[in-house]
């Protein structure tokens, strides 16, 4: 992998922040966008901006064709059996809400659903809302000090009253890669469906939804070098057909009268209204970009970055890393004794280094460690070892100033 060449694809990496070269280590919040994706979006607006699935005119047909081609690229990337099993959404949060809203009409009092202790709020709150509506009971797979799920406890939680399990593939706060194959197999053995939140996995791991045999897999394009405001809900055809629509409106109908409306087939049943057309096409371009580099190459390089940064940070007195699972993506959450994460983040920003600080929308994880938050450095394939050195130097300066 030629990282220097790759960096030239990302115009934003050339800019300075506070007079210093930008070191962008907030990739888990959102990834940067290569020129190939930016150009694709600009080309859409310059050449064939039109509403899709509606017009007989050329522009509309071109836009429709490219939007549907993007759906096929997503299908291929995640190895879905059929293109209509890919629903375009505004992102992971929207995707989860489509399923949780559907489940609010499927479950009843006493049914059980299982979440993990490692979740982002997006994979907790919609389900709590669903449980409030239905009377279903939410159970939690606990984690250990290393940030690893305790699978024996999962075994105990599963029963024939379990209807759905929803777990992330990778934790956004700690980088833990969860054993989703085992989670899925065991859930299916008791007749439960499984939703996997792939928002943090998909930039690093290419999930094969058929071999995983997962019922729902969700992600956001902006985590994968694509635009914001677009994402996907993969669902097995049978699972999606069971769910009621989420929103009513144009495009999702077969026939409308004031007496009765019938819904369109998949995927349109879940795609009411004019979608983010440029975003969908940009999502496809982002997958093309990543696949040209190669997901395995990306993962191998990021693993080196992770190892290098972990060793360097562990050598700084007072640094404590949270989440030391054997299987991790390139995310490091840490604190320095006696210093608030926000203060470290602010000083790093003064030095041009972008990290995220706070609870990372994963408050239960922070509560587990009894901390208000962490500093999170998350790496991507366009980051370099030298940038990690810069962060380490900047962190040492910050510690000197703050301690």
Query: Could you give the CA distance from residue 274 to residue 11 in angstroms, rounded to a whole number?
Result: 30
C-alpha triplet 357, 349, 403: angle, nearest 5° = 75
Reading phi first (left if > 0) and then psi (alpha if -120 to 50, else beta), residue 244 is in: beta
Nearest distance in Å: CB 185, ligand C6P: 22
3-state secondary structure 301-319: HHHHHHHHHHHHHHCCCCE
Query: Could you give the CA distance from residue 76 to residue 71 in angstroms, rounded to a whole number?
Result: 9
Question: Which residue, 122 or 335, is less far from ligand C6P as judged by CB?
Answer: 122
Taken in order 54, 260, 237, 272, is the CA torsion positive or negative? positive
Nearest distance in Å: CB 243, ligand C6P: 19
Helix (H, G, I), strand (E, B) or coil at 336: strand
Question: Which residue, 52 or 174, is less far from ligand C6P as judged by CB?
Answer: 174
Taken in order 245, 237, 71, 99, is the CA torsion positive or negative? positive
The answer for residues whose C-beta is within 8 angstroms of residue 132's C-beta and 6 or more apart is none
C-alpha triplet 135, 139, 143: angle, nearest 5° = 160
Query: Could you give the CA distance from residue 170 to residue 68 in angstroms, rounded to a whole number?
Result: 29
Q: Which residue's C-beta sits nearest to ligand C6P?
A: 172
Question: Which residue, 269 or 360, is less far from ligand C6P as judged by CB?
Answer: 360
H or E element that contains 103 = helix 92-103
* Contact criterion met (CB below 8 Å) for 9 and 32: no
Nearest distance in Å: CB 47, ligand C6P: 28
Query: Could you give the CA distance from residue 196 to residue 280 in angstroms, rounded to a whole number?
Result: 21
Per the annotation, the verdict on 361 as an active-site residue is yes
For the sheet with 162-168, list strands across it.
86-89, 231-235, 216-220, 193-197, 162-168, 112-116, 137-141
Question: Which residue, 29 or 50, is less far from ligand C6P as judged by CB?
Answer: 29
Nearest distance in Å: CB 29, ligand C6P: 3
* Contact criterion met (CB below 8 Å) for 255 and 262: yes
Nearest distance in Å: CB 197, ligand C6P: 5
Binding site for ligand C6P (CB under 6 A): 28-29, 91-93, 120, 122-123, 168, 172, 197, 199-200, 220, 356, 360-361
Nearest distance in Å: CB 380, ligand C6P: 13
Q: Which of 361, 377, 394, 398 is catalytic?
A: 361
Nearest distance in Å: CB 118, ligand C6P: 9
Question: What is the C-alpha R_g of the chain?
Answer: 22
The DSSP code sequence of 9-29 is: T-GGGG-EETTEE-EE-BTTT
Residues carrying an active site annotation: 361
């Amino acid at each position: 992998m030629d990282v220097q060449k790759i960096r030239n694809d990302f115009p934003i990496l050339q800019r300075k922040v506070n007079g210093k070269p930008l070191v962008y280590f907030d990739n888990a919040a959102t990834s940067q966008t290569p020129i190939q994706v930016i150009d694709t979006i600009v080309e859409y607006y310059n050449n064939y901006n039109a509403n899709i699935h509606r017009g007989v005119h050329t522009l509309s047909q071109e836009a429709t064709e490219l939007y549907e081609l993007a759906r096929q690229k997503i299908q291929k990337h995640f190895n879905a059996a059929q293109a209509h099993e890919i629903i375009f959404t505004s992102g992971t949060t929207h995707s989860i809400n489509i399923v949780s809203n559907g489940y609010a009409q499927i479950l009843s009092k006493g049914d059980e659903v299982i979440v993990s202790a490692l979740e982002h709020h997006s994979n907790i709150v919609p389900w709590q809302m669903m449980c409030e509506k239905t009377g279903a009971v939410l159970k939690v797979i606990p984690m250990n000090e290393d940030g690893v799920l305790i699978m024996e406890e999962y075994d105990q939680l599963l029963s024939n009253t379990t209807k759905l399990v929803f777990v992330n593939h990778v934790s956004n706060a700690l980088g833990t890669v969860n054993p989703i194959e085992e989670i899925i197999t065991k859930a299916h053995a008791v007749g439960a469906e499984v939703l996997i939140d792939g928002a943090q996995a998909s930039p690093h791991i290419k999930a094969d939804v058929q071999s995983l045999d997962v019922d729902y897999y969700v992600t956001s394009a902006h985590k994968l070098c694509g635009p914001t405001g677009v994402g996907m809900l993969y669902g097995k055809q049978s699972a999606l057909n069971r769910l009621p629509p989420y929103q009513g409106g144009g495009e999702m109908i077969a026939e409308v009268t004031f007496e009765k409306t019938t819904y369109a087939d998949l995927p349109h049943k879940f795609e009411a209204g004019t979608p983010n057309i440029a975003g969908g096409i940009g999502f496809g371009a982002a997958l093309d970009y990543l696949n040209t580099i190669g997901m395995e190459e990306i993962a191998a390089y990021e693993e080196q970055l992770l190892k290098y940064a972990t060793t360097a940070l562990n050598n700084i007195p007072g640094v404590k890393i949270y989440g030391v699972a054997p299987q991790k993506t390139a995310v490091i959450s840490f604190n320095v004794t006696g210093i608030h994460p926000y203060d470290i983040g602010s000083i790093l920003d003064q030095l041009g280094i972008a990290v995220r600080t706070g609870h990372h929308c994963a408050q239960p994880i922070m509560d587990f460690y009894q901390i208000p938050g962490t500093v999170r450095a998350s790496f991507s394939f366009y980051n370099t070892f030298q940038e990690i050195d810069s962060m380490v130097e900047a962190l040492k300066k910050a510690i000197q100033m703050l301690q």
